[in-house]
């Protein structure tokens, strides 16, 4: 965890420092991106979340070879002779993209993308979160996402707040090329809006790079905490995670260990999905009974550990399987924080495929959780069929180990673009392949939209979803 009593340590790569300290937005010097009138009409119907497709750009040759940048969006002057090249919006543009060429930042073409503009958006997003996440039923402050990309106004900017011990931590991530030049401006804005308490630490993670270049920089600024130090991953010769970056948060009444330097890290959008599974499983375990739980692709075991704690029964057994050893270590820390006896939760360092292959035919579990990462091969990740086939295959191998009338909980995990209906179809095919066709849907889950909002115009762009079945 963060240690107290040592000098403050701040790390920021020299490359990022140089870029972030020199880049400034200016309306007069922005390149101009010309789009068709049809594109302008479409964008006018979906403000702030407008995507500009390359097929709609009429001057791509003028921007070829340029790095990601802010552009003034103009409608082709030939189509509007009365308003030749009049700017209509400002957008973040990446000329290397072949599909989504740019994303609208604001429909006011004369707005300046600076610290004041960022502060305005951060404050507006914070007001929304405060409506939903003031405190939980026990009066505790809740960890949540404070800013969610283009839905809150800036594509590629994500800010999470982890409320826990030893101190609250704000984690800011940049995932859009073109944003890294505004890094210091973002840091100052976040400190002003979200680091108002001296006990709040700030961690910045940028993956907004390209090609073979190391795409991220790491910064920890315990804003005002002169007695807190951060030991990053480079401090460990063995490459193991350092406890100095671990925060203990309370989610759904269960203590969870979170390593703030992980990417994508602890997924707060699964909060309500984990809570719902707790309630469903509790109905299966009347007083005095116990359950056996298998969590595949468990990462740190957030689903299984929270499920176990909701059962309040020491005889329940849990198996968490993941190939990430450091993630499993986080799960062990979570068990220690919750006072779970050793042996109740078994952490298996293995690929899911190998584990299921070696699992005895007689092994049975009351609850099986499948929360996959992007498990298709790298070259197939853009293929939706490959993603669905991967989910179907794992389900087909796991279901034979599900006890009669057991719960099967499957998510689309990191397989972005897999819709709820497509997920249900893949799961149905997997269950049928396992010759367990008598199954009923008892719940369908989605992301927690309260702090992960989605603009209405992007409602079908894909996001987290899950399905829970009772299988006979």
Q: How far apart are CA 385 and CA 392, in angstroms?
A: 10
**CATH class in words for 3-21+114-230:** alpha beta
Determine if the peptide bond prior to 264 is cis (ω within 30°): yes
CA distance linking residue 371 with residue 359, whole number of Å? 19
pTM for this one? 0.85
SS3 content of the chain, % helix, strand, coil (to 5): 30, 25, 40
Are the C-beta atoms of residues 225 and 167 closer than 8 Å to each other? Answer: yes
DSSP string covering 198-261: TT-EEEEEE----TTS----EEEE-TT-TTEE---GGG-TT-PPPGGGEEEEEETTEEEEEETT
CATH class label, 262-471: alpha beta
Q: Sketch the domain layout of the chain as residue ranges.
A: 3-21+114-230, 27-106, 262-471
pLDDT band at 240 (very low <50, low <70, confident <90, very high): very low
Q: Give the range among 36-45, 125-134, 209-218, 251-260 with minimum mean pLDDT.
A: 209-218
Assigned CATH for 27-106? 2.30.130.10
pLDDT digit string (tens) for 181-229?
888 889 999 999 998 888 888 988 887 655 444 455 565 555 433 344 4
pLDDT digits (tens, 9 = 90+) for 132-170: 887 655 556 789 999 999 889 998 899 999 998 888 999
Which residue, 166, 165, 164, 182, is CA-closest to 174? 182
């Amino acid at each position: 965890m963060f240690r107290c009593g040592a000098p403050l340590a701040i790390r920021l790569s020299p490359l990022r420092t140089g870029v972030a300290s020199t880049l400034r937005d200016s309306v007069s010097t922005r390149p101009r991106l010309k789009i068709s009138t049809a594109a302008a009409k479409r964008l006018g119907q979906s403000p702030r979340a407008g995507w500009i497709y390359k097929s709609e750009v009429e001057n791509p040759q003028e921007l070829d070879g340029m790095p990601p940048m802010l552009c003034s969006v103009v409608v082709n002057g030939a189509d509007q002779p009365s308003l030749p090249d009049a700017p209509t919006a400002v957008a973040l543009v990446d000329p290397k993209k072949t599909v989504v060429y740019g994303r609208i930042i604001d429909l006011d073409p004369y707005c300046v993308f600076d610290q004041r503009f960022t502060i305005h958006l951060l404050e507006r997003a914070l007001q929304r979160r405060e409506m939903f996440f003031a405190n939980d039923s026990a009066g505790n402050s809740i960890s949540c996402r404070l800013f969610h990309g283009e839905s809150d106004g800036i594509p590629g900017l994500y800010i999470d707040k982890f409320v826990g011990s030893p101190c609250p931590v704000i984690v800011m991530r940049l995932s859009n090329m073109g944003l890294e030049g505004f890094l210091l401006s973002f840091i100052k804005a976040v400190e002003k809006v979200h680091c108002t308490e001296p006990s709040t630490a700030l961690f910045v993670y940028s993956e907004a790079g390209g090609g073979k270049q190391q795409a991220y920089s790491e910064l920890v600024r315990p804003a005002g905490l002169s007695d807190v130090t951060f030991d990053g991953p480079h401090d460990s010769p063995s490459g193991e995670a350092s406890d100095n970056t671990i925060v203990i948060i309370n989610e759904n009444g269960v203590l969870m260990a979170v390593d703030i330097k992980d990417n994508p890290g602890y997924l707060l959008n699964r909060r309500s999905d984990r809570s719902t599974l707790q309630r469903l499983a509790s109905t299966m375990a009347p007083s005095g009974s116990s359950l056996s739980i298998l969590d595949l692709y468990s990462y740190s075991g957030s689903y299984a550990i929270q499920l176990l704690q909701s059962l309040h029964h020491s005889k329940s057994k849990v198996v968490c399987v993941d190939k990430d050893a450091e993630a499993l270590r986080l799960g062990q820390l979570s068990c220690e924080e919750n006072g779970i006896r050793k042996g109740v939760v078994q952490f298996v360092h293995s690929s899911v495929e190998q584990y299921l292959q070696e699992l005895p035919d007689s092994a049975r579990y009351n609850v099986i959780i499948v929360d996959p990462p992007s498990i298709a091969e790298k070259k197939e990740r853009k293929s939706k069929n490959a993603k669905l086939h991967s989910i179907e295959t794992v389900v087909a191998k796991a279901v034979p180990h599900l006890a009669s009338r057991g719960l099967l909980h499957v998510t689309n995990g990191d397989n972005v673009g897999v819709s709820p209906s497509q997920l249900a179809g893949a799961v149905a095919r997997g269950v049928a392949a396992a010759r367990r066709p008598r199954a009923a849907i008892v719940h369908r889950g989605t992301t927690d939209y309260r702090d992960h909002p989605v603009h209405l115009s992007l409602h079908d762009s894909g996001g987290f979803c899950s399905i829970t079945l009772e299988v006979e």
